[in-house]
């Protein structure tokens, strides 16, 4: 019932204390890592949907075939709850050996010594197949802690079936401006009579905020890992959302707040309630697969004449990392090496984890892709061509940035705070979280 | 005292004074008895110290540290208390939790009492109704019902579909800051089964002759309820009130599921336990979360003490 909540936390914290203390100091020096002579059992964990689970299980089977002495025990789940669970296992020194990571949490774990320094195990893990600028986003303080798996830009996903249904011409997305975008969004809302909306706005995740900021020559974080964004940029980001709600291009605040955190297959994009939405490119094939009745395109963001080029960049959609507490760092590195470099694994994964960061695999995959996969690949190639410098990854202490954004965004949506007030308060809160961790 | 010990006492009273040797033998036996008791209690003691006392003490220590789950804790004195004083979200969380407790606990008790009273009037098929009415209590705190709740009270949920029959366009109840907490209160009130069953048992213990005597004197139903049922039931009401407050203060699941773990919209459903959980497990501030847990303990302790103090004035023990 309700009562266990506090007790569970108390129990959890004490157990983690006891076990955490017990676990201290046993981490071996990764530079001494060598393969064990006997049987080894590795654990691995990832988040994802069904398609990813099956593909990853297949890849593990291939690995076990090649390394008969190593048994791999998988655990996998949805995104929600994944990080809470990981934090608990890490505190108990029981973190799985190999962990699928997101850049939000990378510095927070690496900066606190929870991840294996992958630069220290070059004899088992060769990441040189990945482009330099992509690998850079897996490093913290100059050391490689996580190997990017796939990359993608942030794009606008168009539901072209809806455009057709409501008789609104699809804008020329190669040259479109923000005015073109707004006009198309309003036209859809109007023509559909409330059945569908022109745009599902951004407002609550740092990927779209980063792109929005880069369009204005701004960044969320600077190279030192400090919060760098100008409050005006952040206020404009939220003001844009309010403008869309005001003009009818987007649904009202309650509808939007209901949408937050919903699984992909219950969201407006898949249900055909919205004609345009801002999405990480890595989700495109999943969206297309979840809604076979609709045709989708993924295109670059609109720009204005003054928009600096190079605001896009191929962002790793996820990484492989290893636990610093692992009893088998050599085998863990070996498994990551296999998952990143084996061509059969690349075939098994397809584009489900984003476009493979390994460029050789992009070429290998191309002929085998379905239509949605090809569209995602084309979009990522386009983004890579137009790419500017990748921004620094989310610093230590800022892993909550998305939930924080979501919180302030809601207060803006419901009129609690003006975008300017929210921007100042958000920056102050994020800055103190980063400083507390620093 | 063990059964063997009791027998021995009986024997002794029969025989009068004991010699020193007998006394020695007895002390030895008593020690053996308490050892046996310890062995039998061991599983429970392991649980008590390993799972309750130990962790509680550990969290007391952690409350004065900057423990972040991944690194060793450092002692920081009263920094966490200081942080509480300037914590705006803590204020909002306390407001949401207090509103929830103060509104939903009394309503739930009234509903539970009313239904118990009706059931006690001797309906045919009582066991059936009792089970049906108890059912929500088994389900109410479960994840599945919380998920269902989100759908029932969603913008296109059942409630709005029903209102739509009368031409009313309802809001997205769980997504509006003004109504989200209300849906959780309704969910909590709906789980009235546990106090209802306890009330039912209490009603059964009130001697019938009181009512017969009152009826003879011409008291009507309402007078009987006020002058017999409620006073004699007051210890049970008190019991349910105390347990209800303690449990409700610690509510977690409903808010976690209905708000997708955010406590939103705009922190309107940010229950204390949920905030504590967010701080500890999502924000890596386990030291602060431990301090919050102790704050919750103090708050619940204060409310319970207040309750016991107030009970002197309205709880009637018929003995």
Of chain A, the end-to-end C-alpha distance in Å amounts to 38
> CA Rg, chain B, in Å?
26
Question: What number of residues does chain A have?
Answer: 438
Partner-chain residue, chosen from B62, B71, B260, that has the shortest CB–CB distance to A17: B62
pLDDT at A1: 36
CB contact under 8 A, B69 and A91: yes
The reply to whether A154-311+400-437 shares the fold of A31-150+316-370 is: yes
Burial of A246 (0-12, 13-18, 19+ CB in 10 A): exposed
pLDDT at A63: 94
Three-state DSSP at A109 gives helix
**Most B CBs within 10 Å, among A2, A94, A111, to test the B interface:** A2
Percent above pLDDT 70 for chain A: 93
Q: Which residue of A has its CA nearest to B170?
A: A254
Tell which B residues from 59 to 78 touch A, by Cβ distance under 8 Å: 59, 61-62, 67-73
Residues of B in contact with A24 (CB under 8 A): 72
pLDDT at A18: 44
Please name which of B142, B264, B164, B148 lies closest in space to residue A258, comparing C-alpha atoms. B264
pLDDT at A177: 95
Rounded to a whole number of angstroms, the distance from the CA of A403 to the nearest CA of chain B is: 8
Task: Inform me whether the C-beta atom of residue B94 falls under 8 Å from chain A C-beta atoms.
Answer: no
Three-state SS letters, chain B: CCHHHHHHHHHHHHHCCCCHHHHHHHHHHHHHHHHHHHHHHHHHHHHHHHHHHHHHHHHHHHCCECCCCCCCCCECCCHHHHHHHCCHHHHHHHHHHHHHHHHHHHHHHHHHHHHHHHHHCCCCCHHHHHHHHHHHHHHHCCHHHHHHHHHHCCCCCHHHHHHHHCCCCCCCHHHCCCCHHHHHHHHHHHCCHHHHHHHHHHHHHCCHHHHHHHHHCCCCHHHHHHHHHHHHHHHHHHHHHHHHHHHHHCCCHHHHHHCCCCCCCCCCCCCHHHHHHHHHHHCCCHHHHHHHHHHHHHHHHHHHHHHHHHHHHHCCCCC
Instruction: Please calculate the CA angle A374-A317-B258 and round it to the nearest 5 degrees.
Output: 110
What 8-state DSSP symbol labels residue A206? H
**C-beta neighbour count of A183 within 10 angstroms:** 16
Q: Which residue of A has its CA nearest to B136?
A: A1
What's the pLDDT tens digit per position in A363-380?
A: 888 888 888 889 999 998
Partner-chain residue, chosen from B54, B155, B276, that has the shortest CB–CB distance to A14: B54
Which pLDDT band holds residue A357 (cuts at 50, 70, 90)?
Answer: confident
Residue A199 backbone phi and psi in degrees, to 5: -145, 140
| Cα B72 → chain centroid | 34
Residue A229 backbone phi and psi in degrees, to 5: -65, 140
CB contact under 8 A, B250 and A109: no
What 8-state DSSP symbol labels residue A308? P
What angle do helix axes A401-413 and A231-247 make, rounded to 10 degrees?
50
Which pLDDT band holds residue A4 (cuts at 50, 70, 90)?
Answer: very low
CB contact under 8 A, B57 and A14: yes
What's the pLDDT tens digit per position in A182-231?
A: 999 999 999 998 899 999 998 888 999 999 999 999 999 998 889 999 99
Task: Inform me whether the C-beta atom of residue A432 falls under 8 Å from chain B C-beta atoms.
Answer: no
pLDDT at B125: 78
The residue that leads in pLDDT, B3 or A408, is: A408
Rounded to a whole number of angstroms, the distance from the CA of B228 to the nearest CA of chain A is: 33
Three-state DSSP at A23 gives helix
What's the pLDDT tens digit per position in B250-291?
A: 999 888 888 878 887 889 999 999 999 999 988 889 999 999
Distance CA A174, CA A156 (A): 12
What's the pLDDT tens digit per position in B137-177?
A: 777 667 777 788 888 888 778 888 888 888 888 888 888 88
| Greatest C-alpha distance within chain B | 93
Residue A437 in tokens? 């961790």
pLDDT at A19: 42
The residue that leads in pLDDT, A24 or B301, is: B301
**C-beta neighbour count of B286 within 10 angstroms:** 30
Distance CA A89, CA A287 (A): 31
Q: Is the Cβ–Cβ distance between B276 and B84 less than 8 Å? A: no
Half-sphere exposure of B178 (CA within 13 A, CB side): 8
The residue that leads in pLDDT, A279 or A5, is: A279
Inform me whether the pLDDT recorded for A24 exceeds 60: no
Please name which of B193, B33, B178, B56 lies closest in space to residue B113, comparing C-alpha atoms. B193
Please name which of B280, B281, B258 lies closest in space to residue B270, comparing C-alpha atoms. B258
Please name which of A141, A157, A134 lies closest in space to residue A317, comparing C-alpha atoms. A134
What's the pLDDT tens digit per position in A261-294?
A: 777 788 899 999 999 999 998 889 889 988 999 9
Bridge-based pairing of strands A197-200 and A274-280 is parallel
Q: Is the Cβ–Cβ distance between A117 and A144 less than 8 Å? A: yes
Q: Is the Cβ–Cβ distance between B169 and B160 less than 8 Å? A: yes
Residue A369 in tokens? 């892709």
CATH pick for A154-311+400-437 out of 3.40.190.10, 1.10.357.10, 1.10.3720.10, 3.50.50.60: 3.40.190.10
Distance CA B244, CA B101 (A): 9
Inform me whether the pLDDT recorded for B78 exceeds 60: yes
Helix (H) or strand (E) holding A317: strand A315-322
Please name which of A30, A152, A132, A128 lies closest in space to residue A341, comparing C-alpha atoms. A128
Average pLDDT over residues B56-69: 93
What's the pLDDT tens digit per position in A106-125?
A: 999 998 899 999 999 888 99
What's the pLDDT tens digit per position in A125-174?
A: 998 888 888 888 899 988 999 999 988 899 999 999 999 999 999 999 99
Task: Inform me whether the C-beta atom of residue A363 falls under 8 Å from chain B C-beta atoms.
Answer: no
What's the pLDDT tens digit per position in A45-97?
A: 999 877 788 889 999 999 999 999 999 999 998 887 899 899 989 988 899 99
pLDDT at A16: 43
Residues whose CB falls within 8 Å of the CB of residue B188, separated by 6 or more in sequence, listed in order: B100, B104, B108, B140, B248, B251, B254
Inform me whether the pLDDT recorded for B16 exceeds 60: no
Task: Inform me whether the C-beta atom of residue A109 falls under 8 Å from chain B C-beta atoms.
Answer: yes
Inform me whether the pLDDT recorded for B248 exceeds 90: yes
In DSSP notation, A373-424 reads HHHHHHHHHHHHHT--PPPPPPPTT-TTHHHHHHHHHHHHHTTSS-HHHHHH
pLDDT at A3: 39
CB contact under 8 A, B293 and A10: yes
**C-beta neighbour count of B137 within 10 angstroms:** 18
Residue A416 in tokens? 């609690």
What's the pLDDT tens digit per position in B92-123?
A: 999 999 999 999 999 999 999 999 988 887 77
Q: Is the Cβ–Cβ distance between B286 and A13 less than 8 Å? A: yes
Rounded to a whole number of angstroms, the distance from the CA of B311 to the nearest CA of chain A is: 23
pLDDT at B167: 83
What 8-state DSSP symbol labels residue A275? E
Distance CA A183, CA B22 (A): 102
What 8-state DSSP symbol labels residue A174? T
What CATH code is assigned to A31-150+316-370?
3.40.190.10
Distance CA A134, CA B38 (A): 62
Inform me whether the pLDDT recorded for B64 exceeds 90: yes
Task: Inform me whether the C-beta atom of residue B235 falls under 8 Å from chain A C-beta atoms.
Answer: no
Average pLDDT over residues A413-432: 94
pLDDT at A15: 45
Q: Is the Cβ–Cβ distance between B131 and B119 less than 8 Å? A: no
Buried b (16+ CB within 10 A) or exposed e, B211-223: eeebeeeebeeee
pLDDT at A351: 81
Tell which A residues from 64 to 83 touch B, by Cβ distance under 8 Å: 80, 83
Inform me whether the pLDDT recorded for B81 exceeds 60: yes
The residue that leads in pLDDT, A424 or B316, is: A424
Average pLDDT over residues B173-196: 88
Give how far Cα A300 sits from Cα of A175, A204, A307, A391, Å: 10, 20, 13, 18
Domains and CATH numbers, chain B: 3-62 (no CATH), 79-314 (1.10.3720.10)
pLDDT at A260: 79
Distance CA A87, CA A390 (A): 27
Distance CA A106, CA A393 (A): 8
Task: Inform me whether the C-beta atom of residue A11 falls under 8 Å from chain B C-beta atoms.
Answer: yes
User: Pseudo-torsion of CA A261, A267, A269, A270, nearest 10°?
Assistant: 130
Average pLDDT, chain A: 87
What's the pLDDT tens digit per position in B23-45?
A: 888 888 888 888 998 999 999 99
pLDDT at B8: 58
Q: Is the Cβ–Cβ distance between A134 and A316 less than 8 Å? A: yes
Residues whose CB falls within 8 Å of the CB of residue A315, separated by 6 or more in sequence, listed in order: A103, A137, A151, A152, A153, A154, A207, A280, A390
Distance CA A286, CA A78 (A): 14
| Cα A131 → chain centroid | 19
Bridge-based pairing of strands A139-140 and A143-144 is antiparallel
Distance CA A374, CA A379 (A): 9
Residue A324 in tokens? 């610093």
What 8-state DSSP symbol labels residue A5? H
Q: Is the ipTM of this complex over 0.90?
A: no
The residue that leads in pLDDT, A367 or B7, is: A367
Domain ranges of chain A: 31-150+316-370, 154-311+400-437
């Amino acid at each position: 019932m309700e009562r266990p909540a506090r007790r569970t936390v108390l129990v959890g914290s004490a157990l983690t204390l006891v076990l955490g203390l017990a676990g201290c100091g046993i981490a071996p020096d990764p530079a001494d890592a060598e393969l064990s002579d006997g049987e080894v059992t590795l654990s691995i964990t990832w988040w994802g949907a069904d398609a990813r689970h099956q593909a990853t299980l297949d890849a593990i089977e291939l690995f076990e075939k090649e390394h008969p002495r190593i048994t791999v025990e998988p655990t996998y789940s949805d995104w929600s709850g994944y990080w809470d669970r990981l934090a608990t296992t890490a505190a108990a020194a029981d973190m799985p050996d190999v962990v699928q990571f997101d850049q939000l949490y990378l510095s927070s774990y690496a900066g606190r010594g929870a991840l294996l320094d992958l630069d220290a195990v070059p004899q088992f893990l060769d990441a040189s197949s990945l482009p330099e600028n992509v690998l850079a986003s897996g490093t913290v303080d100059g050391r490689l802690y996580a190997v990017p798996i796939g990359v993608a830009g942030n794009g606008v996903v168009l539901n072209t079936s809806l455009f057709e249904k409501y008789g609104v011409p699809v804008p020329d997305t190669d040259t479109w401006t923000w005015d073109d975008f707004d006009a198309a969004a309003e036209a859809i809302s109007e023509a559909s009579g409330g059945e569908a909306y022109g745009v599902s706005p951004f407002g609550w995740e740092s990927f779209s905020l980063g792109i929005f900021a880069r369009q204005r020559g701004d960044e969320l974080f600077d190279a030192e890992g400090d919060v760098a964004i100008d409050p005006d940029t952040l206020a404009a980001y939220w003001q844009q959302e309010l403008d869309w709600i005001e003009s009818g291009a987007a649904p009202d605040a309650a509808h939007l707040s209901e949408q937050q955190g919903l699984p992909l297959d219950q969201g407006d994009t898949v249900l055909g309630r919205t004609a345009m939405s801002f999405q990480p490119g890595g989700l495109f094939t999943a969206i297309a697969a979840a809604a076979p009745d609709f045709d989708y395109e993924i295109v670059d963001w609109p720009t204005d004449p003054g928009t600096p080029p190079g605001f896009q960049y191929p962002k790793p959609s996820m990484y492989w990392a290893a636990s610093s507490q692992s009893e088998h760092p050599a085998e863990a590195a070996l498994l990551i090496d296999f998952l990143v470099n084996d061509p059969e694994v690349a075939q098994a994964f397809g584009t489900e984890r984003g476009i493979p960061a390994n460029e050789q695999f992009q070429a290998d995959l191309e002929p085998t892709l379905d239509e949605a996969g090809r569209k995602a690949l084309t979009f990522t190639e386009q983004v890579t061509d137009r790419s500017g410098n990748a921004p620094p990854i989310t610093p230590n202490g800022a892993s909550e940035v998305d939930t924080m954004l979501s919180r302030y965004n809601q207060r803006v949506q419901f009129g609690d705070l003006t975008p300017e007030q929210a921007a100042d308060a958000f920056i102050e809160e994020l800055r103190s979280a980063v400083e507390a961790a620093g | 005292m063990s059964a063997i010990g009791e027998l021995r006492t009986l024997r002794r009273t029969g025989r009068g004074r004991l010699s020193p040797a007998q006394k020695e033998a007895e002390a030895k036996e008593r020690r053996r008895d308490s050892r046996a008791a310890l062995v039998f209690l061991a599983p429970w003691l392991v649980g008590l110290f390993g799972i309750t006392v130990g962790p509680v003490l550990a969290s007391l220590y952690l409350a004065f540290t900057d423990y972040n789950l991944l690194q060793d804790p450092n002692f920081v004195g009263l920094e966490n208390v200081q942080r509480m004083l300037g914590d705006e979200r803590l204020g909002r969380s306390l407001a949401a939790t207090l509103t929830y407790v103060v509104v939903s606990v009394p309503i739930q008790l009234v509903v539970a009492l009313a239904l118990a009273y009706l059931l006690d009037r001797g309906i045919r098929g009582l066991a059936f109704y009792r089970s049906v009415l108890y059912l929500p209590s088994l389900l109410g705190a479960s994840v599945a019902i919380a998920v269902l709740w989100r759908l029932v009270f969603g913008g296109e949920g059942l409630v709005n579909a029903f209102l739509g029959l009368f031409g009313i366009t309802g809001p997205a109840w769980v997504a509006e800051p003004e109504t989200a907490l209300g849906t959780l209160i309704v969910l909590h009130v709906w789980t009235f089964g546990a106090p209802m069953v306890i009330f039912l048992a209490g009603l059964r213990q009130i001697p019938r002759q009181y009512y017969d005597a009152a009826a003879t004197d011409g008291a009507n139903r309402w007078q009987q309820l006020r002058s017999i049922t409620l006073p004699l039931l007051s210890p049970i009401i008190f019991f349910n009130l105390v347990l209800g407050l303690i449990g409700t203060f610690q509510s977690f699941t409903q808010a976690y599921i209905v708000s997708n773990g955010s406590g939103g919209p705009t922190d309107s459903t940010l229950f204390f336990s949920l905030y504590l959980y967010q701080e500890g497990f999502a924000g890596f501030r386990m030291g602060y979360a431990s301090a919050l847990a102790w704050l919750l303990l103090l708050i619940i302790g204060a409310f319970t003490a207040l309750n016991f103090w107030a009970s002197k004035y309205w709880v009637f023990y018929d003995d």
